[in-house]
């Protein structure tokens, strides 16, 4: 079964919009795990506009499933990850002012940098994953950095799928097949939803984990978080 990691950034966004501590991100992380999620994902950005660095520290003791921390490996982020030591760190090349992640790494251009960063994390026992587009050269480049996994950036699939283009899955299938061949684990995330997750999962060989936040939280406004987590788990079987 493909594991479901729930990205709880949007819970922090809601909290921060009012001030105070409601909804409480730690309690929410406890709840989604209790409802069956096999992981919790956070993406603390330098401006801390949603998940804060302190949230990441507070979550560490209560995440008993897999704790995945995403971000651009600037010094402050690296220091945080090395302090918290999550199960997995996912490296994302987002600009400081990016609204959301919008591209994968150029693993060839940034090979030396990524290799150095990944070596530091792996020395500290942290599994590493690199956010990449479904481009075979980038998958091969990821392998040379020493990463354990890649995370396929799925926005283009989700957009095309919503317009009825089933062919949009093909580059992701090829990227996953190559990853399996060269010994890289495959994760995926970005704009995956209840509408497209089963189709995606059924076509991607060896899909280990999906990280879903915006869609899952939005769907929960109508259907309830416990129900939505169960719906995702059913589709990921």
Give the C-alpha separation, 200 to 114, whole Å: 28
Give the C-alpha separation, 49 to 235, whole Å: 32
Write out the catalytic residue numbers. Answer: 43, 70, 190
Pair 235, 212: CB distance under 8 Å: no
Give the C-alpha separation, 21 to 183, whole Å: 43
In this structure, the chain runs to a length of: 237
Pairing of strands 88-91, 66-71: parallel
Going 89 to 90 to 93 to 94, the CA torsion angle's sign is: negative
């Amino acid at each position: 079964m493909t594991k479901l990691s729930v990205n709880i950034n949007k819970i922090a966004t809601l909290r921060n919009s009012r001030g105070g501590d409601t909804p409480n991100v730690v309690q929410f992380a406890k709840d989604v795990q209790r409802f069956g999620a096999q992981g919790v994902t956070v993406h603390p950005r330098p401006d801390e506009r949603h998940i804060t660095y302190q949230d990441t520290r507070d979550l560490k003791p209560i995440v008993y499933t897999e704790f995945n921390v995403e971000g651009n490996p600037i010094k402050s982020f690296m220091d945080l990850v090395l302090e918290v030591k999550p199960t997995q760190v996912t490296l994302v090349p987002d600009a400081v002012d990016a609204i959301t992640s919008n591209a994968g790494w150029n693993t060839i251009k940034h090979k030396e940098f990524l290799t150095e960063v990944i070596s530091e994390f792996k020395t500290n026992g942290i599994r590493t994953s690199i956010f990449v587009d479904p481009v075979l050269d980038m998958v091969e480049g990821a392998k040379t950095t020493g990463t354990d996994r890649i995370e396929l950036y799925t926005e283009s699939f989700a957009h095309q799928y919503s317009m009825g283009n089933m062919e949009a899955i093909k580059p992701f299938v090829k990227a996953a097949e190559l990853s399996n061949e060269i010994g890289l684990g495959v994760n995926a995330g970005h704009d995956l939803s209840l509408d497209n997750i089963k189709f995606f999962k059924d076509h991607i060989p060896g899909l280990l984990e999906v990280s879903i936040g915006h869609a899952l939280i939005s769907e929960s406004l109508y259907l309830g978080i416990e129900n939505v987590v169960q719906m995702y788990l059913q589709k990921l079987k």
